[in-house]
């Protein structure tokens, strides 16, 4: 409550503007983005990434800038910012470390990785280390189930992680040591990633050529469609034991 009124979490206006030189640079970039769309308001998502590339999150100033450039209200911009989780609402680290805790990654070890990283870094979900290097969060599925459990750093893939490998990863990030994703483009900072997502050229060496294919599980259906032979099925020992257990009618699985 403030002065008898309920706060709805909306930005307090007027928000401060960017410094003149920053404003001029962002305006030039924003006009470039807006020109790509038949309707200016369609440029809101990339413009939010643009202001995020400047400050590392979408501030009140960034919301004001987007609203003014697109002739929208700050309420309209705020509604979009608060809907999408890729837009940060508070200062974040140079590296956004996201641990997938959706169903498959969770049961394959994602939950354990997330818990150990919280303890190792001394932060909770959506919190940043004191050195400003790493922001930790749990994330939803990133369509990499073949490689579960998956950790994302600034939306680049680190596949088949364990608690130990994930802790080495964040230690390397904090120490400034080179880190290479399992597949895809080279790693860059969160601000640099935001500028790429705003639609500006990806200038990382080898980024355009970088790629990452599907894993073996996803390719099974393709091989079946092509009539190709499949690799022998790997059966867990518990599954073999379960298959040999007699059913209620006295028959074993596979004997019918």
**Annotation-wise, does 188 bind a ligand?**
no
Residue 3 forms part of a structural domain: no
Residues 47 and 105 in one domain: no
Residue 51 forms part of a structural domain: yes
Domain boundary among 59, 81, 103: 81
Domain boundary among 140, 173, 189: 189
Cross-strand pairs, 5: 2
| HEC profile of the chain | CECCECCCCCCCCCCCCCCHHHHHHHHHHHHHHHCCCCCHHHHHHHHHHHHHHHHCCCCHHHHHHHHHHHCCCHHHHHHHHCCCCCCCCCCCCCEEEEEECCHHHHHHHHHHHHHHHHHHHCCCCCEECCCCCEEEEEECCCCCHHHCCCEEECCEEECCCCHHHHHHHHHHHHHCCCCCCCCCCCCCCHHHHHHHHCCCCCCCCCCCCCCCCCCHHHHHHHHHHHCCCCCCCCCCHHHHHHHCCECCCCCECCCC
Q: What is the structure's pLDDT at 115?
A: 97
CA 161/CA 167 separation, integer angstroms: 10
Q: What is the pLDDT of residues 130-151, one digit of tens each?
A: 999 999 999 989 888 889 999 9
Residues 108 and 173 in one domain: yes
Pairing verdict, β 151-153 and 127-128: unpaired
CA 31/CA 91 separation, integer angstroms: 26
In tens digits, the chain (256 residues) has pLDDT values of 344 445 566 555 578 889 999 999 999 999 999 999 999 999 999 999 999 999 999 999 999 999 999 999 999 999 999 999 899 999 999 999 999 999 999 999 999 999 999 999 999 999 999 999 999 999 989 888 889 999 999 999 999 999 999 999 999 999 999 999 998 888 999 999 999 999 998 888 877 777 666 677 777 777 788 888 876 654 444 434 444 445 444 444 444 4
Residue 4 forms part of a structural domain: no
Residue 227 forms part of a structural domain: no
Note down the domain range covering 35. Answer: 20-81
- HSE (CB half, 13 Å, CA atoms) of 3? 0
Residues 33 and 64 in one domain: yes
Please answer whether residues 181 and 253 qualify as being in contact, where contact means their C-beta atoms are separated by less than 8 angstroms. Answer: no
Report the mean per-residue pLDDT for the chain. Answer: 85
Q: What is the pLDDT of residues 87-127, one digit of tens each?
A: 999 999 999 999 999 999 999 999 999 999 999 999 999 99
**Annotation-wise, does 66 bind a ligand?**
no
Work out how many domains the chain is built from and give that number: 2
Q: Write down the pTM of the prediction.
A: 0.77
The enclosing domain of 157 has a CATH number of 3.40.30.10
Q: How far lies 30's CA from each of 39, 50, 59, 206, 230, in Å?
A: 14, 8, 16, 27, 51
């Amino acid at each position: 409550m403030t002065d008898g009124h309920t706060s709805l979490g909306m930005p307090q206006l007027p928000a401060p503007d960017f410094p003149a030189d920053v404003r001029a640079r962002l305006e030039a970039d924003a006009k470039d983005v807006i020109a790509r769309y038949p309707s200016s308001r369609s440029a809101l998502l990339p413009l939010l990434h643009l202001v995020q590339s400047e400050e590392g999150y979408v501030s009140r100033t960034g919301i004001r800038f987007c609203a003014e450039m697109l002739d929208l209200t700050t309420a309209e911009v705020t509604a979009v910012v608060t809907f999408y989780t890729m837009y940060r609402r508070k200062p974040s680290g140079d590296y956004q470390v996201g641990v997938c805790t959706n169903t498959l990654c969770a049961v394959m070890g994602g939950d354990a990785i997330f818990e150990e990283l919280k303890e190792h870094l001394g932060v909770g979900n959506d919190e940043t280390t004191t050195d400003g290097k790493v922001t930790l969060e749990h994330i939803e599925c990133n369509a990499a189930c073949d490689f579960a459990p998956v950790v994302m750093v600034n939306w680049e893939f680190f596949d088949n992680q364990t608690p130990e490998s994930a802790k080495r990863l964040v230690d390397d990030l904090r120490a400034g040591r080179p880190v290479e994703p399992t597949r895809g483009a080279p790693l860059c900072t969160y601000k640099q990633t935001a500028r790429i997502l705003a639609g500006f050229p990806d200038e990382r060496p080898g980024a355009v050529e970088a790629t990452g294919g599907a894993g073996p599980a996803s390719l099974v259906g393709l091989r079946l469609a092509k009539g190709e032979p499949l690799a022998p099925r790997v059966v867990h020992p518990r599954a073999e034991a379960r298959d040999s257990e007699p059913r209620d009618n006295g028959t074993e699985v596979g004997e019918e």
